């Protein structure tokens, strides 16, 4: 393991993205009425693939804190996140919109909806998401805002204290919500939940704590925070099951399997933080990690459109695996033709534009 890159994180990113792809293609598409093509061969396993998003949030906690701690400047952090997210997002959003037009199955998607979605925050304008998978990006942005707040006040290197406060606040709110007799104004509760990302705080906190363990060592205080984050995630696992059941009327989920998978995520991230992943850590997986983001952005609606257009004329197995290969190939193209070619140039331009302007002194 090097001190500049954690190789296993790239592999985990790809596995998380692929699990979400299988969830949508082999289970949610047909169960939720979005796709005409069932795929019962993989459905019993694929229906748990939605948990890849929780793994993404843990990875973000690790990687985003690593980025913020390395830069320690709000400007550098914001530019790095903008360059990481937007070039690929703009490209994938455009591909999804054009695919809908090409297959004549997205007549309800307007050009104005597409333009507003390009901001990545269409909810602020009360505009529906162009792609269902975009919902998690809004959660990520809220996490970035919390990290940016620490950079603004110059406390990023004391982040462990703030992680503890965030965790305790999340646990307290969940306990209060559990006891229906405790009265909290609904509007205030909604605001606090949104601000502190209560539903997914356990995963961001766990990932960030794993970064601290990786960087500074496995102190008892950090292991305690990680264990408490796991406890919060387990407490909230029933809510995850209920939400997925509500979104997919035909689905059934085993709560014990959900708990087991989430626990594996925590154990896996801890092993990475402790440098106990053996030979996996010696192999580099940069390409797998690089294509995971465009793969996640691209796959869902395009897959449903293709399945609805060609099934049952085309054999389901051929259609399913061809679509998997196709979206991986397009994701690779987005990475090579857009991210590699333009991301560094965009970063240089933004750095130059912001450094050329006089700015007020900041307490960093």
Can you give the pLDDT at residue 246? Answer: 72
Can you give the pLDDT at residue 335? Answer: 96
Instruction: Report residue 153 as tokens.
Output: 């006040």
Can you give the pLDDT at residue 5? Answer: 76
Residues of the domain holding 124: 7-355
C-alpha to C-alpha distance for 18 and 13, rounded to whole angstroms = 9
Q: Which residues of the chain have pLDDT under 70?
A: 1-4, 104-107, 180-186, 247-251, 356-364
Tell me, yes or no, whether 362 lies in a domain.
no
Over the stretch 89-101, which tens digit does the pLDDT of each residue have?
999 999 999 998 8
C-alpha to C-alpha distance for 12 and 6, rounded to whole angstroms = 11
Can you give the pLDDT at residue 270? Answer: 97
Nearest 5 degrees, angle CA 129-CA 134-CA 140?
Answer: 130
The dihedral of CA 51, 56, 12, 162: what is its sign? negative
- Give yes or no for a contact between 309 and 105, defined as CB atoms under 8 angstroms apart: yes
Tell me, yes or no, whether 57 lies in a domain.
yes
What domain count does the chain have?
1
Can you give the pLDDT at residue 359? Answer: 44
Can you give the pLDDT at residue 2? Answer: 40
C-alpha to C-alpha distance for 78 and 149, rounded to whole angstroms = 11
Can you give the pLDDT at residue 74? Answer: 92
- Give yes or no for a contact between 297 and 131, defined as CB atoms under 8 angstroms apart: yes
Tell me, yes or no, whether 1 lies in a domain.
no
- Give yes or no for a contact between 96 and 131, defined as CB atoms under 8 angstroms apart: yes
Instruction: Report residue 204 as tokens.
Output: 């961001």
Can you give the pLDDT at residue 357? Answer: 53
- The rounded radius of gyration (Å) of the Cα atoms in the chain is 21
C-alpha to C-alpha distance for 276 and 274, rounded to whole angstroms = 5
C-alpha to C-alpha distance for 84 and 250, rounded to whole angstroms = 37
- Give yes or no for a contact between 113 and 128, defined as CB atoms under 8 angstroms apart: yes
């Amino acid at each position: 393991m090097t001190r500049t890159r954690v190789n296993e994180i790239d592999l985990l990113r790809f596995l998380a993205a692929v699990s979400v792809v299988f969830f949508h293609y082999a289970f949610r598409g047909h169960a939720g009425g979005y796709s005409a093509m069932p795929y019962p061969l993989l459905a019993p396993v694929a229906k748990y693939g939605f948990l890849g998003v929780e793994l993404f949030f843990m990875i973000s906690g690790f990687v985003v804190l690593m980025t913020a701690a390395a830069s320690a400047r709000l400007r550098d952090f914001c530019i790095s996140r903008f360059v990481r997210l937007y070039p690929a997002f703009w490209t994938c959003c455009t591909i999804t919109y054009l695919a809908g037009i090409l297959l004549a199955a997205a007549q309800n998607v307007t050009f104005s909806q597409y333009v507003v979605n390009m901001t990545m925050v269409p909810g602020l304008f009360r505009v529906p998401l162009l792609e269902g998978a975009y919902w998690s990006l809004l959660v990520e942005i809220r996490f970035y805002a919390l990290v940016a707040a620490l950079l603004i006040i110059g406390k990023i290197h004391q982040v462990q204290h703030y992680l503890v406060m965030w965790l305790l606040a999340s646990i307290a709110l969940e306990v209060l919500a559990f006891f229906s007799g405790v009265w909290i104004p609904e509007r205030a509760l909604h605001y606090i939940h949104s601000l502190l990302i209560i539903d997914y705080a356990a995963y961001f906190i766990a990932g960030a704590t794993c970064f601290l363990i990786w960087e500074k060592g496995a102190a008892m205080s950090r292991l305690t925070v990680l264990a408490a984050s796991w406890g919060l995630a387990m407490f909230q696992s029933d809510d995850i099951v209920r939400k997925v059941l509500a979104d997919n009327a035909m689905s059934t989920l085993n709560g014990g399997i959900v708990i087991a998978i989430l626990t594996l995520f925590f154990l896996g991230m801890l092993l990475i933080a402790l440098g106990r992943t053996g030979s996996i850590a010696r192999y580099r997986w940069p390409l797998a990690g690089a294509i995971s983001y465009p793969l996640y952005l691209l796959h869902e609606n395009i897959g449903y459109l293709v399945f609805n257009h060609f099934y049952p004329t085309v054999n389901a197995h051929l259609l399913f695996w061809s679509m998997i290969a196709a979206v991986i190939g397009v994701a690779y193209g987005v990475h090579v033709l857009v991210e590699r070619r333009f991301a560094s140039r965009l970063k240089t331009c933004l750095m130059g534009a912001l450094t050329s302007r006089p700015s007020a002194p900041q307490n960093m």
